[in-house]
A and B are shown apart, each in its own frame.
Chain A
Amino acid sequence: MKKIIALLLVIVLALSLVACGSKESASADNQPAAETSTNQTTETSTEGSTTKRIFMSAAYYTAPYGSPLMAAVEEKAKALGYEIQIVDGEANADKQLTQFKTAVADGFDALIYWPGDSASTPPVVEYLNSTGLPWVDINTLPDDSIIDQCTVIASNEVQIGRELGKLIVQYYEENSFEEMNIAYVEGDSGSSYTIHLTEGINEVLADYPNIKILNEPMYANFDPAQAMTITEDLITKFGDEIDLVVTQDGGMFQGAYNAIMSAGKLGEYGIICQGQDLIVKEKLLSGELYASVAQDPFQEGSLAVEVLDKLIKGEAVDAWTYTPTGPIFAADIDNYSWF
């Protein structure tokens, strides 16, 4: 008896899937997903409300930078009269591809893609373009081979690196160092952000042979706790040789700052970072942080929806809309949003 009921339940499940799927499969079997979804988009628009729906897959949903960025996307989308759904792509290109396919099948009208890394973007971009829906890439740059097929809203990451490099040079010149040694804490070894920032810094420092990065690449994965451990290790290893500590974001700055404070080296080492975190603002004001470099998640999120709105309306947009960047000193803090 039990086996029969179990079997029946399995059959119900199978039939639900197959029979219901086959309703549309008869017409959709030989169509690509995109065509099917386009039909459904029309269906949703005509049957349901006329509010257009935007779907966003965010690779770094839980990153500190992600929260204000997604809040800005939501706020702007609502202000422009769109419904918005944001899901966690978990920095997994295949998962993001699946999410987009699900969203397209569900009749979303426009898409926002925040990739986890550049290398895995080609098949996702190929799919997004095949849907015929308006979409934008945000924050992480697509692979060079397909960047011309995308509408990008992102910082010029190499430029952020250059800005960091310029701040390092400015600190070097202001303090009249003969030689200056840097302890450098990087983010995620695989991310384009980390790679490009380092590229920008190295580009500037190439003209200053007396400025030296002491350590081999050390990755804290944008994690304050890991940044603290790495900085502690660097202080133990290099001690007074260090003149300046540089971190690639505000979260890691917090970890590095705590390590420097624990070692009693506050004031002895200069500190420079990238970021607009509240801790960065606080330490800029107190003078313990020399300067930061802006990459504004609020502007980036807002810009993405503005550009997407234009695409939805069929207006022309730039292939790459840059998120503004530049140095932030204590005197400039009122000009920026903080998170």
Chain B
Amino acid sequence: MNKNRSTLRKSELQFFFLENAVIIVLTAFVVFMVFYRPSFRSWANLTTIINDCCMYGITALAMTAVIICGEIDLSVSSIYAWSTCLFVILCNSMNIFSAAVITLLVGAVWGLFNGMLVAFLRMPAFVATLGTMYTAKGLAYYITEEKPINTGNPMLATIGKINIANISLVPIVFLIVLAVLYCIMRYTKVGRNVYATGGNYEVARLSGINVKLSKIIVFVFTGICSALSGIMYCTRVYSGAATYGSDLTTWCVAAAVIGGTSMSGGYGGVHRTIIGILLMAILFNALTLLGVDGSMQRFIRGLVLVVVIMFDAISKAKKR
């Protein structure tokens, strides 16, 4: 009996470590950095990490919802680039609040377009959003005449410089998006439908869930969040270009997966993605502080992603 209990505890412990591998690794890494590299714990550095990760983090939260719904959106990087261009152009001719509203609406239209292709035409999201990715990028090149553009809008510079204890506007916007998305996914029918659609599409459809609407909603939200990330970028660098954000899609997918959201849909949570976002940002920051050169940084970041996904796979196998 005791032997059985001990075996049970051992396997529970194993399962626990696998289940929480990312948090454990992140905690250990932070503790290591705190003692090994004192500059890591400086307030200036911590706020740099927070300000940096929240900008892409906004889109990563929305990407998590798409993945939970059993889909993927490859067009976020292009919608982001498009939005930086559109927003900067608009800022040069109108006030930034109107420019922001228009940019967000156009982002929503891009998302709606993706959602319609996937929900009504039953196109695989991979293919549909790949097409949108090229379309949005091409349009961004076209409207900027293939050049990076900037703006001298004084209001944008003022907003960009807003900070509380060195924390900029971006983390505040990130927290608002997180709160909204978390509440929608956790406490509303829409959120439950998204989980159900991603978990088993046919069962959800036969249960009377409007699966098409669920898909459209997550894509629209992703379009809006990509545009919002683009606007946040502009508040920091006052410029837009079709080339910006080329790594956004992979970054967002990585953050969601590291956070524990299943690529097969139906499982995960936007709040979990915070762990992925933090890990990516802290790793990027720490590698620079540790004096690791650029090539090795790419290698290590890739390696971490592979290891985390490996843990995820092992953990799922254990669950079964």
User: Chain A: which residue is nearest B12 at the CB level?
Assistant: A2
Main secondary structure of the interface of B (DSSP, over half): helix
Contacts of A106 in B (CB 8 A): 37, 39, 45, 288-289
Q: Type the 1/0 row for B34-53, where 1 means its CB is closer than 8 Å to any CB of A.
A: 10010101111111100110
Q: Are A23 and B41 in contact (CB under 8 A)?
A: yes
Known contacts A102-B48, A189-B147; is-contact A2 B297 (Cβ 8 Å): no
B43 adjacent to A190 (CB under 8 Å):
no
Least CB separation from A2: chain B residue: B16
Task: Indicate if the CB atoms of A107 and B30 lie closer than 8 Å.
Answer: no
For the complex, what is the distance from the CA of A23 to the CA of B247, rounded to whole Å? 35
Interface contact A105-B294, CB-CB below 8 Å:
no
Tell me the number of A-to-B contacts counted with CB atoms below 8 Å.
164
Q: Is the CB of A292 closer than 8 A to any CB of chain B?
A: no
Contact at A9–B24, with CB atoms within 8 Å? yes
- Which residue of B26, B52, B297 contacts A94 across the interface (Cβ within 8 Å)? B52
How many Å from the CB of B63 to the closest CB on chain A?
Answer: 18
Given known A145-B152, A219-B146, contact A91–B243 (CB-CB < 8 A): yes
Bound CA span A266–B19, Å? 62
- Contact yes or no, A143 B147, CB < 8 A: no
In the complex, the answer to whether A123 meets B294 with C-beta atoms within 8 Å is no
Which range contains the number of B residues in contact with the other chain? 35 or more
Q: Does B244 contact A (CB under 8 A)?
A: yes
Asked whether A29 lies within 8 Å of B147 as measured between CB atoms, the reply is: no
The answer to whether A13 and B23 have CB atoms under 8 Å apart is yes
Bound complex: CA A322 to CA B166 (Å): 37
Q: Which residues from 229 to 244 on chain B have a C-beta closer than 8 Å to any C-beta of chain A?
A: 233, 236-244
Is the CB–CB distance between A101 and B44 below 8 Å? yes
Tell me, rounded to whole Å, the shortest Cβ–Cβ distance linking B201 to chain A: 31
**Assembled-state Cα–Cα distance A97/B285 (Å):** 12
Minimum Cβ distance to chain A for residue B278 (Å): 8
Question: Contact: B239 with A190, CB < 8 Å?
Answer: no
Query: Does B20 interact with chain A (Cβ within 8 Å)?
Result: yes
Partner of B148, one of A13, A105, A119: A119
| B149: interface (CB < 8 Å) | yes
The winner among A20, A25, A143 for most chain B CB atoms within 10 A is A20
Given A20-B41, A29-B43, A119-B147, 13 other A-B residues pairs in contact with their CB atoms under 8 A: A6-B23, A16-B27, A17-B41, A37-B44, A86-B293, A88-B297, A92-B244, A98-B48, A105-B48, A106-B39, A120-B241, A122-B237, A217-B146
Q: List 22 A-B residue pairs with CB atoms under 8 Å apart, sorted by A's residue number.
A: A2-B12, A10-B27, A13-B30, A30-B165, A33-B166, A36-B44, A37-B44, A87-B294, A95-B52, A98-B51, A98-B285, A102-B289, A103-B288, A105-B48, A106-B39, A117-B241, A119-B239, A120-B237, A123-B237, A123-B238, A188-B243, A190-B243
The 10 A-B pairs of least Cβ separation, nearest first, read: A88-B294, A189-B146, A119-B148, A20-B41, A25-B43, A105-B45, A119-B239, A33-B44, A120-B239, A119-B150
